[in-house]
Amino acid sequence: MRRYLGILAVASMFLASAVNVNAQDMLQIKGSDTLINLVQRLAEEYMEKNPGKYIAVTGGGSGTGIAALINGKCDIANASRLMKPKEITQANERGADPKRVVIAMDGLSVITNLKNSVTKLTKDEIGKIFRGEITNWKEVGGTDMAITLYGRQSNSGTFVFFRDAILKGDYSQKMNRMNGNAQIVEAIKQDMSGIGYVGVGYVKDASSQLNVVKVASSPGADYTSPLNSNDVKSGKYPLARPLNQYVNGSPKGATRDFIAFELSPEGQKIIEQEGFFPIPDEYRDFNRKSVGLE
Amino acid sequence: MIKFKEKLIHGIFFFNGLLVVIVLLGIFALLVFTSIPAFKEISLREFLFNSNWNPTSYVKSSYGIVAMLVSTFMVTLGALLIAVPLGIGTAAYLSDVASTRVREIAKPTVEILAGIPSVVIGFLGIVLVGPFIAKVFNLHNGLNALNGSILLAVMALPTIISLSEDALKSVPKSYEEASLALGATHWQTLVRVKLPAALSGIIAACMLGMGRAIGETMTVLMATGCAPAMPESFLGAVRTMTSSIAIELGEVPYNTTHYYALFGIGLVLFIITFLVNMSADIILHRYQKVAK
């Protein structure tokens, strides 16, 4: 009997501690597929340095993360796009006050198969390709081969960013809708006729297995690569974009502590190791005004 | 006392039976009432006859389901073309030709096949079937309707094989004996006597397999490319009704036209599976009457 009591006591202690973790110290982060590996890595380093703190990072796409923040289902939403005015109104209606923090810079990379001879495109050409107006590689200086488009699904922030910034119109109905950055990278590695777009962090390890297209903002301008950190930070690369996190109200406690870690020199170094770029001064100013951290 | 107990048990089972009906009606009512608001903004004509589905458009939202309806039918038809002959053949082999030992190993194996999660089969579609199709047909990629059909055929096979075999098994032994006694070969007996006698069960098996194929989501979502355009051939990308719901329901703001329209797709899907099951039932009964 006494033995059973002992087991019971241990079990209940274990249970109690588990409940504690869930209730108080577990930070829930949800959203962008582009950001998930990066934030996961940041969370791991942070937990190693701060024993007793727990962070859970899950994906689902920027749209899903923002919806979760609005519904109070997560502490931080990862977003590779900005919140839409409609979403902000929706959040306000439910008593949430979303604040934006920029944690890294991304050079959204247009990728093609290694065997494809086209290695540079203008912003305008990319728009035409994804709108379905250019359908053959020979129209942009390549071989005579129909173009196969690979993009994301509509819950993706990258889907929305790319459409609003580059296409300014609808994607071709023939674009394959893939489930995440990694799936696009895999498809492009195999498909000679393919073109796709992914966060620069996803081409870092694969850059010897596929072409990262150099992009010019207009026909006469210089072609720049998303792998060049200066061009991304200065915004000379036409598809450079900030990667964001949204929090509800001015961040406090564990949330604030983790964001401070992300923005610290140590956090920014991890961001570089993951293939993304540290934030420039203009966004440091922005963060200070938005949440009082820089 | 015993009488009361019996009545109680009777009541419990009656309630269980009723519960299924209630759940079914409840689902139907939910689908109908949640999809009605969609048609305040979308005309029924656009919904049913337009092939362009793009609710989150940059320019103008459109809500036509023709392309995904065609996609669903293509993938299902392809799956049945593969699975029905293969399934009935396997069932006939297992019931009439195979030795007891082979059958004892093969039948449980077929049933285990039914337990493989759809996401695993979808994964095989990406890494195995897709590249294979691309190679055979000399395409750039294998994310197309054919890929989806092959995978769905694999998923429908266990149902078809298992139920068809049961149907063949339940043909009275006297039919077979009479046929053989009249001098028919084993092959003639199987094709001309046993298969027609078991036809109602075999049709039911194929219909259930079809039901599985129409409703399957994850596999087709992963393996068919999901381009929303009107499908051109079996070697082009398709996007079925189930994948459209799965892709979009996660991020759609509640109580918007888009949200209601997704329930509208669900309703159409429900009606299709309902019709499939009902016609299977009618065929079954008509055949049984003839047999009698």
Average pLDDT over residues A97-114: 94
What is the least distance, in Å, from the CA of B249 to any CA of chain A? 9
Q: Would the CB atoms of A173 and B56 count as touching at under 8 Å?
A: no
Q: Under 8 Å CB-to-CB from B3, ≥6 apart: which residues?
A: none
User: SS3 for A63?
Assistant: helix
Q: Would the CB atoms of B247 and A153 count as touching at under 8 Å?
A: yes
Nearest CA to A66 out of A239, A283, A255, A247 is that of: A247
A194-198 and A109-113: which strand pairing?
Answer: antiparallel
Percent of chain B residues past pLDDT 90, beyond the cut: 63
Of the listed ranges A17-21, B4-8, B23-27, B232-236, the one predicted with least confidence:
A17-21
**b/e per residue A179-206 (b: at least 16 CB within 10 A):** bbbebbbbbbebbbbbbbbbbbbbbeeb
pLDDT for residue A151: 94
Asked if residue A293 has pLDDT above 50, the reply is yes
Q: Which of B131, B226, B248 sits opposite A190 (nearest CB)?
A: B131
pLDDT for residue A294: 74
CA torsion A218-A221-A226-A228 (nearest 10°) is -170
Asked if residue A21 has pLDDT above 60, the reply is no
Q: Which of B56, B227, B251 sits opposite A173 (nearest CB)?
A: B227
pLDDT for residue A71: 84
Nearest CA to B158 out of B81, B104, B87 is that of: B87
For B214-236, how does the pLDDT look when each residue is reduced to its tens digit (9 = 90+)? 989 999 998 998 899 999 899 99
Asked if residue A167 has pLDDT above 60, the reply is yes
What is the spatial distance between Cα B124 and Cα A38, in angstroms, rounded to a whole number?
Answer: 28
* Residues A77/A31, Cβ–Cβ less than 8 Å: yes
pLDDT for residue A291: 87
What is the spatial distance between Cα B222 and Cα B224, in angstroms, rounded to a whole number?
Answer: 6
Q: Partners of A57 in the beta sheet?
A: A29
Q: Under 8 Å CB-to-CB from A61, ≥6 apart: which residues?
A: A31, A32, A33, A152, A153, A155, A156, A157, B250, B251
* Residues A233/A105, Cβ–Cβ less than 8 Å: yes
Cβ of residue B227 closer than 8 Å to a chain A Cβ: yes
Q: Which of A63, A170, A173 sits opposite B58 (nearest CB)?
A: A170
Residues B216, B222, B228, B232, CA torsion sign: negative
Q: Would the CB atoms of A154 and B251 count as touching at under 8 Å?
A: yes
Cβ of residue A136 closer than 8 Å to a chain B Cβ: no
pLDDT for residue A24: 53
Cβ of residue B126 closer than 8 Å to a chain A Cβ: yes
* Residues B163/B204, Cβ–Cβ less than 8 Å: yes
Q: Which of B140, B227, B251 sits opposite A174 (nearest CB)?
A: B227
Q: Partners of A198 in the beta sheet?
A: A109
pLDDT for residue B208: 85
- pLDDT confidence tier of residue A20, bands split at 50, 70 and 90: very low
Q: Would the CB atoms of A90 and B226 count as touching at under 8 Å?
A: no
Q: Which helix (H) or strand (E) holds B239?
A: none
Which ipTM was obtained for this model?
Answer: 0.78
Q: Which of A154, A169, A190 sits opposite B248 (nearest CB)?
A: A154
Query: Tokens for B34?
Result: 């949640």
CA–CA distances in Å: residue A283 to residues A34, A65, A128, A233, B68: 19, 22, 31, 10, 43
Average pLDDT over residues A91-103: 91
Average pLDDT over residues B108-133: 91
Average pLDDT over residues A96-115: 94
pLDDT for residue B189: 93
Asked if residue A239 has pLDDT above 90, the reply is yes
* Residues B240/B183, Cβ–Cβ less than 8 Å: no
Average pLDDT over residues A172-183: 90
- pLDDT confidence tier of residue A23, bands split at 50, 70 and 90: very low
Cβ of residue B101 closer than 8 Å to a chain A Cβ: no
Residue A143 gets which letter from DSSP?
-
Cβ of residue B131 closer than 8 Å to a chain A Cβ: yes
Neighbouring CB atoms inside 10 A of B36's CB total 13
pLDDT for residue A19: 45
Q: Would the CB atoms of A170 and B247 count as touching at under 8 Å?
A: no
- pLDDT confidence tier of residue A18, bands split at 50, 70 and 90: very low
Angle between helices B257-291 and B66-92 (to 10 degrees): 30
Q: Partners of A112 in the beta sheet?
A: A195, A211
Give which of A71, A155, A168 to mutate to test B binding, by max B Cβ within 10 Å: A155
Asked if residue A155 has pLDDT above 90, the reply is no
Give pairs for B132-141: CB < 8 Å, separation 24+.
Answer: B133/B235, B134/A190, B137/B235, B139/B235, B140/A145, B140/A148, B140/A191, B140/A192, B140/A193, B140/A194, B141/A148, B141/A187, B141/A190, B141/A191, B141/A193, B141/A194, B141/B225
- pLDDT confidence tier of residue B28, bands split at 50, 70 and 90: very high
